[in-house]
Amino acid sequence: MHLTEPHLTKLGATYEDSNNSIEVKTSVFPFDYHLLPTAATYSRRLFRDRPHRGRVSLNVSHSPSISFFFHSPASLRLDAATGSPKLSPPSISGLKYFAFEKGFGITFDNILPKLVAEGAIHIIELSTRLRATLECGFTGLLATLRITWSNEKAEAGTLLVFSAEAVLWEIKSVCFFTVFLQHLLIPSSFSYLDVQFSLPIFLSTRFSPALALTTAVIPCTAISLGYHFFVLPHRRARRLA
């Protein structure tokens, strides 16, 4: 730690049972006694026979906000012919099992309300998630498209943001160094020195349909080529081994 450039310390606590969950996160800056940015989320299951949940999120910072959401968590739909992914052998394509989630709600950001709708597709065997979000408020429309791949040690993804003010493309990569405390009565873990790389690229300071289409096509094309020339041969060789 350097006195002129102190490290950022992130603290968080989570409680979860079958019907309720509470999560609190904050960031601590040494030698900085201003308002600490704190985010608190309370989620509760709404129905006994359905997994739908209601969520309230409060963000206390220089730009406070509160959100009310209805969320349908990721659910895997199986039939008799498909079987469970844990019991079935992995497929060559990796596209055999999908899980879908969706949600919508309202967010009050600096008093101004905005409607938010989001949906995601989880590709189970490839550990990949595709998420799209649409926000509509007094400041205009905001659309985001995020593609994320993750495992126990790393996470990588790309984010596209389209709004009336800018077109943003972000590349992100995170490496986790996690230590699990297995000798305690309560299972717990903490992470140390998470290495994160983020590269935001502002492609334009105003919305351009042609640029937005090009920005969406290029990452999708790169992902398709990587899947066809790298992922498929690797899974085919592992299946035949």
How confident is the model at residue 191, as a pLDDT?
Answer: 45
Give the DSSP per-residue string, 199-210: EEEEEESS--HH
Share above pLDDT 70 across residues of the chain, in percent, rounded to a whole number: 78
Average pLDDT over residues 202-220: 78
Average pLDDT over residues 225-238: 83
Average model confidence (pLDDT) across the chain: 78
| Residue whose entry in the numeric block shows the structure tokens 């996470």 | 155
Residue 9 pLDDT grade (very low, low, confident, very high; cuts 50, 70, 90):
confident
Of the listed ranges 3-7, 200-204, 220-224, the least confidently predicted one is: 3-7
Question: Residues 107-160: pLDDT tens digits?
Answer: 998 888 999 999 999 988 888 889 999 999 887 888 898 888 887 777 788 888
Question: What gap in Å lies between CA 208 and CA 113, rounded to an integer?
Answer: 26
Total H helices, total E strands in the chain: 2, 14
How confident is the model at residue 49, as a pLDDT?
Answer: 85
How confident is the model at residue 31, as a pLDDT?
Answer: 61
Of the listed ranges 16-30, 33-47, 75-89, 177-191, the least confidently predicted one is: 177-191
Residue 168 pLDDT grade (very low, low, confident, very high; cuts 50, 70, 90):
confident
Of the listed ranges 5-9, 18-22, 138-142, the least confidently predicted one is: 5-9
Q: Pick from 134, 65, 73: which is nearest to 100 by CA?
A: 73
How confident is the model at residue 32, as a pLDDT?
Answer: 60
- Please indicate whether residue 181 or residue 161 has the higher confidence score (pLDDT): 161
Q: Pick from 30, 38, 39: which is nearest to 4 by CA?
A: 30
How confident is the model at residue 194, as a pLDDT?
Answer: 59
How confident is the model at residue 110, as a pLDDT?
Answer: 81
Question: What gap in Å lies between CA 117 and CA 125, rounded to an integer?
Answer: 26
Question: Residues 43-70: pLDDT tens digits?
Answer: 999 998 888 999 999 998 888 899 999 9
How confident is the model at residue 3, as a pLDDT?
Answer: 45
